[in-house]
Structure 1
Amino acid sequence: MTADNKQSEQPATGVDVAIVGGGMAGASLALMLAHYCPQLSLALLERQPLPDPQASLQLPSFDTRATALAAGSLQLFAELGLWPALREHCAPIEHIGVSDRGRAAGIALRAPEEPHASFDGMLGAVIENAALGPLLHRALARTGVQLLAPAQVDSVQMHEDSAQLQWRAGDREHTLRARLLVIADGTDSPLCRQLGIDIERVSYRQRALVTTVGLAQPHGNRAYERFTDAGPMALLPLPPRGGQHRMALVWTCEAADAETLAALPERDFVARLQRAFGWRAGRIERAGRLHSYPLSLSLAREQWRRNLALVGNCAHFLHPVAGQGFNLTLRDSYGLAQTLAREDLARNSPGQLDLLEGFGRQRRRDQQLTIGFSDRVPPLFAAPGLMARGLRQVGLLGLALAPPLRAGFVGQAAGFGL
C-alpha cells in the first residue's frame, strides 16, 4: 500500500475491478486486492459517505455491535500490515468456554494448548464495528484504490468482456466499466436482484439480541459460547472503557421471547440474563440498548459468473453461532485476491470465467463446512429430547477428550489450513 488516495473528484470511467459496497466486506477485499494485486486498477463504490480517515475514533462505551475475528483472520490482517492499528482497539480471546447449560460436559480451549489455531498467543480477538470500519478505511486512503462515495449504483449491464455500472453522486450521473464487478452490498442486494441471482433462504424463526454488558470483574480475555434449550448465547470480551469491564452479548431466542426481553427495563433484563447465562463470567451489572434482528441462512445460488463475483453477506449470511460469518468472508476475499495474484492479468481478464470457477472450487470445501456447522449446530442444541441431549453431551465430551477431533474443530473455526 503506497500512494495516498482521496475520494476522487474526477472518477475514472474504466477500471480492472469495481467493488460495490464499502462496508467491512468490500473494504477488506479492496485492501487485499491493493496489497496482492498492485497491478490492478480498483474502484470502491459506497452509497454512504465514508469515514474521514483523519478523524480520531470516538467510540461509545455501549450500544455498539462487535465482531469476533478468528486467529486466521488476524493473520490475514497482519499480512496487510493492519494488526498494529487493530490491536489498540481489540480485546484478545485467550480462552473459550463452550458449554451446554445444565449439563456437565463442556470444552475449554486455551491458546497455549491450541498452537495450530492461535495467532500471537490468541485464539482470536473482538473489535467493535465502530472501530473496525474506520480503521479499514484509513488503510484504504493510503492505497491507490479510487474511493467513490457517496455513490448510488442504479443499474448494471453485463457484457462479454466487462460490466457497466450506472451510478450517481448527487444529481450527477456517471458510467463505470469494469473487467470484474464484485458485489459486496449486503443481504437483499439490489444488484443481485437486478441480475436475477437467486438466493436460498432458511428462516430459523428466532431472533438475536445484541448489546454490550458491563461486568463487576475483568473478563480475563475469556469468551463464552453457552447453549441453552432456546438457543446459543455468546459473551465476547471487549476492551474496558470508562472504568467499566465490558463484554459483547449475542442472545439467541424465540421471537416472542425476544420481544418480551427487549421491552424490559435494564435492571430486569440484566436479572433475566444472569439467570439464563449463569455466573461463569461473574456478576453482570448493566446492559446497553438492545438491538434485535431475525436469524436466517441465506446463500446465493451463484457466487460468480463471467466478469462477476459476490462476497460478504450477499454471498452467504450465517447464523451467528461461533461468529463465523465475517471470518468466512475474509477467507473468501483472500482466496479471490490470491487467485488473481497468480494470474497474468496483463494478458488475461480478472473476470474470465475459468478463473472465477477456479476460485469457486478452491473455496467450496471451507464454505460447505462453515455453513453446515452454523446451520446444523443451533437446532441440535435447542432440541429438548433426551436423545438430543445425549448426543450433545457425547459430542462435547468427545471434543474435550479427543485431541485430534478437537484440533480439527478448532482449526476449522480458526480458519487455518484451508
Structure 2
Amino acid sequence: MTGAAPPVHDVVIMGGGLAGLTLALQLKNRFEDIDVLVLERRGHPVPLAAHKVGESSVEIGAHYFDTVLGLKSHMQQVQLRKFGFRFFFSEGRRDIDCVTEIGASRYLSVPSYQIDRGIFENYLGEEAARRGVRFIDSAMVGGVDLSDSADAPHRLRWTVDGVTYVARTRWLVDACGRAGLLKRKLGLARPNAHDANAVWFRIGERIVIDDWSDDPEWRARCDPQARWLSTNHLVGAGYWVWLIPLASGSHSVGIVADPKLHPLDTMNTFDKAMDWFRTWQPRLYDALDGKRDKLQDFMFLRKFSYGCKQVFSARRWALTGEAGLFLDPFYSPGSDFIAISNTYIADLIARDRAGLGLEARAQVYDQIYHSFYESTLALYQDQYPLFGDPEVLPVKVIWDYTYYWGVLSQMFFQQKLTHLALLGELREDLVHCQRLNVAMQAFMRSWSAVSEKRNPAVMLDQAALPWFAGLNRSLNDKLDDDGFRQRVRASAALLDELAREIVERANRAHPGLGSGTLGALLDQRMAGLAAREPREAQPAMLFLQASAIG
C-alpha cells in the first residue's frame, strides 16, 4: 500500500472470541474515547453451540461477565444459570441414584452460568460495535512487526477477501487462541507436566440427568429438581465426563482423561467415544445411543494444557486467553483466567495512557499471573487417578473450593488484583496458602492410594455446610483494605483448620498414613502465628457424615 501512513490505534486485539471481545468491552467501559480495533478470523455471526470449550463458568468469570462488563441482563435472560458443579461416581453403573453424589441441594448465593459460546460471542461482537469498538470479522492477520522503541507503534497486516490492510497500534494484544501468533513469533511457548487429552461434541437435544431415576426421594434431594442445569461430572479413575446444557437447546458432552489410564485412541471419534461410554458410563451411553442422528460436531485435543514464558510486556504487547496459557477444563478456570489477564492488561494500558512507567508493573503482574497459574495447575497435575475415589474426591472438591473462594476469588471480587502494596503486605499469608495447597494435593494422592473407595448411595450436600455456603456468600461483601486483610488472613486460618481436619480424618481411617509435608507446614505456621489470637475451630468436614442422604 502507498500514500499516507495509516492512523495509529490505541489498541489492536488479534482475535474476536471470548477473550478479545471482553477485553475490548472492558477497555471501552474504562475509557470512552479509546480507539480499539478487533480483528477476528471467523465470519460473524458464528453458529450457535459454537465448536469451542469454555461453556461452563465459575464465580470469577461469571462476576467478570455480569458485573465488571455490565452484561448481567444478557447472562440472566439469555444464558442458563448453572446449578453448581455436581459429581457422580457412576463408573460402570446405570443406577445413578445408588452411587455417591457430590453437589449442592440448592443454589448458592453467587451465580455462575452455562454459556452457549455461539450466542455469547455473537452478542459480544454486536455489543462491542455498539460501544464504539471497530470489529472486523473474516480478517486473517498475515504479519506482525513489533516496535523496538518505547514510543513507536507496532505494525500489522491483515487481509479480508483478498485485500491487504495495514494498521499501526500503540498496544497489540494477542487473543487469537491456540494459534498463538505472538507466542510463536517471540518463542514464548512453555510446556507443562500435566498430560491429559480431551474429546467433546454437541448433541442437539437436552440430556436430562434428572430423568435417569424415577425414585421420588432421589429427585427431591435438590430444589429445584434440575440437576441437568449443573455442570455434571461422571467420574472414574483417570477421567471425568462433562455434561453441560446450552441455551440453544444443545448439550455439550466431553471426556477428559489421563492417557496412561484411558488412551486418546480409544475415544478420538464419535463412534469410539460411544463404545467407550458403553464400557465406562453405560447410563450415558443409553441416553445418547438414540440421539446419534443429532450429533452436531466432534473435536479432540491431545495434551491440551500448556504454559507461556511471558504474557505481559512493558513493550506494549500482551497475550490473553488461550493465546497465553491453558490449564484444564475441570473446575472451568478458563473464563477466570481471561478475567484476570484482561484486568491486568487494562490496568497496564491505563498506566500507559497516564504517562506512568510500565517496566516494574508489567513484570510483577506477569509474576502474579503465573503464580495463579502454578497454584491452579496443582489442582490437576497427577490428580486424575483419584477422580474415581468416592472417599477422597469429595474432600478434594471442598478443599479446592475453599482455596478458590477464600483466596483467589476474594482478590478479584474485592478489586485488589492491582493493589500491589496491599498484596505485598499479605505476601506471607498468600505464599503459605499456595504452599499448603500444593502439599494438600500430594497428601490426597497418598490418601487415595490406600483408601477403600467406598461408594454408598448418598448425596454429600455442600449447601448443608453453613461455613461453606457462607464463604460463597462472602464474595458479595464490599471490603475496604483493612477488611480485605482480615478476610485473607481468615481464609488462611480456615485452610489451616481444614487441612488439620483432613489429615486427622484420613489417619483415623488409615493409621500410619502420616501427614507428608502438610504437618511441617502447619506446625511452622502455628509457630509463626503464636502472637495472634486463636480462632475458634469449625466442624469443617461435618457434612461427610451429617449431610449424607441415603
TM tier, shorter chain? 0.7 to 0.9
Aligned length: 372
1:1-400 equivalent positions in 2, closer than 5 A: 13-51=7-45, 59=48, 67-79=55-67, 80-101=69-90, 107-110=102-105, 112=107, 114-115=108-109, 118-119=110-111, 124-149=112-137, 150-161=139-150, 162-170=152-160, 171-202=162-193, 204=195, 206-212=197-203, 214-215=206-207, 217=211, 219-239=227-247, 241=249, 247-253=251-257, 254-259=263-268, 262-263=270-271, 269=274, 273=277, 276-277=280-281, 279=283, 283-284=287-288, 285-287=290-292, 288=295, 289-305=297-313, 306-341=315-350, 343=351, 345-348=353-356, 352-381=358-387, 389=389, 393-397=391-395
- Aligned residue number for residue 532 of structure 2: none
Q: Contact conserved, 1:211 with 1:248, CA < 8 A, in 2?
A: yes
2-side partners of 1:66 and 1:128: how far apart?
Answer: 9
Structure 1 residues 281 and 82, CA, compared in 2 at 3 Å: closer, same or farther? farther
Structure 1 residues 168 and 222, CA, compared in 2 at 3 Å: closer, same or farther? closer
Structure 1 residues 330 and 214, CA, compared in 2 at 3 Å: closer, same or farther? same
SS of 1:317's equivalent in the other structure is: coil
CA RMSD of aligned residues (A): 3.6
2-side partners of 1:303 and 1:66: how far apart?
Answer: 20
Q: CA deviation at 1:66?
A: 6.0
- What TM-score do the two structures reach when normalised by structure 1? 0.75
Structure 1 residues 338 and 63, CA, compared in 2 at 3 Å: closer, same or farther? closer
- What TM-score do the two structures reach when normalised by structure 2? 0.59
- Which sits farther off after the overlay, 303-312 or 81-90? 81-90
2-side partners of 1:126 and 1:399: how far apart?
Answer: 20
Deviations 1:104-148 (A, max 9, x none): 655323554x43xx22xxxx2112221111011011111222224
Q: Contact conserved, 2:114 with 2:245, CA < 8 A, in 1?
A: yes
Does 1 or 2 have the higher relative contact order (CA < 8 Å, sep 6+)? Answer: 1
- Which sits farther off after the overlay, 314-323 or 207-216? 207-216
SS of 1:48's equivalent in the other structure is: coil
Q: Which has the larger helix fraction?
A: 2
Identity %: 16
Larger Rg computed on CA atoms: 2
Deviations 1:201-249 (A, max 9, x none): 55726332333364364655222123212411111233473xxxx5321
What are structure 2's unaligned runs of at least 5 residues? 92-97, 212-225, 258-262, 413-550
Structure 1 residues 175 and 164, CA, compared in 2 at 3 Å: closer, same or farther? farther
Letter in 2 for 1:250: G
Q: CA deviation at 1:410?
A: 5.5
What are structure 1's unaligned runs of at least 5 residues? 1-9, 52-56, 383-388
Letter in 2 for 1:215: I
Structure 1 residues 98 and 299, CA, compared in 2 at 3 Å: closer, same or farther? same
